[in-house]
Structure 1
Amino acid sequence: MSITGTLIIQMIVFLLLVAFTMKFVWPPIAAALDERAKKIAEGLSAADKAKAELADADRRVEQELAKSRADTAQMLADAERRAQAIVEEAKTRATDEGAKIVAAAKAEADQQTVKAREALREQVAALAVKGAEQILRREVNAGVHAELLGRLKTEL
């Protein structure tokens, strides 16, 4: 056999191999590659969509956190204001109650003073009557009167 014949036979075998490959082997490989490319594209699309959803969720979480912080700060401020109001009200009530107690004590002290004066007056009156009684029972004598008045002073 000659080189030309061998070359022609190899070309025919090669062409048959190419035709067989193009007809039976190439379509499933191309389909598998297309399907793989489609899955990769879908995966990338899903990843981009998930990233966008994650960013949106992060944004919503930050908004909710900011709102919660603002609400908490507002509640704390309200609680502090209420506490201050309660403290001021308690101070006012305590001051008023203290003033009432002082006024009541002062009134009671005044009453006690008045009662003591009245009792003292009654005692002085009783002693004066007693002294006058003793003076009148005895004879009128300046020395005796001075002595009786001295005793009356000591009793007062």
Structure 2
Amino acid sequence: MAPNLFIFFRNLFCPIYLFQKGERLEGSITKDEHWDSPVPGTYRYIPSRGWHLIRRDDAEEDEKEPQPVVYCRIVHRYLLASDMERRCRWYTVVQEEGGEPERCLFFRLDDGYTWVIGWDKRGKFIPGPYRRWCYDKEAMTMRRMDSMSRRQAFL
């Protein structure tokens, strides 16, 4: 017996439902494109899995395993998933003076020095505008960037 009584009785009294088939797609549903960013190369769209890098421009052969590509809503462009993972770190910070420490997921910007809070403790995305943070190596903590540390970051 079918696990769903509705489906069981529908098929019993209207057997036409047993013989219907879904729409067939003609041709390949994968799509290849050449992109210049994040890495110049050929990218393939795989249904239900998204875009993947399959061949770099400077490589002779295809990648052994396609590298997934994700859209980063912080920098508004596509990044390799491995690069996205490298740029994200969990830190516990106090966002407001006198507030409680919160665990947040930080994202490192392209300069390699500046961090922004992109996700809260539950992993929910936080849309901008973003306050800038930097990692204090002496205290081993994150701190908000002031105008002096911004100048030092670019020297």
Does the alignment reach a TM-score above 0.5? no
- Structure with the largest fraction of helix: 1
- Structure with the largest fraction of strand: 2
Using the size of structure 1 for normalisation, the TM-score is 0.19
Using the size of structure 2 for normalisation, the TM-score is 0.19
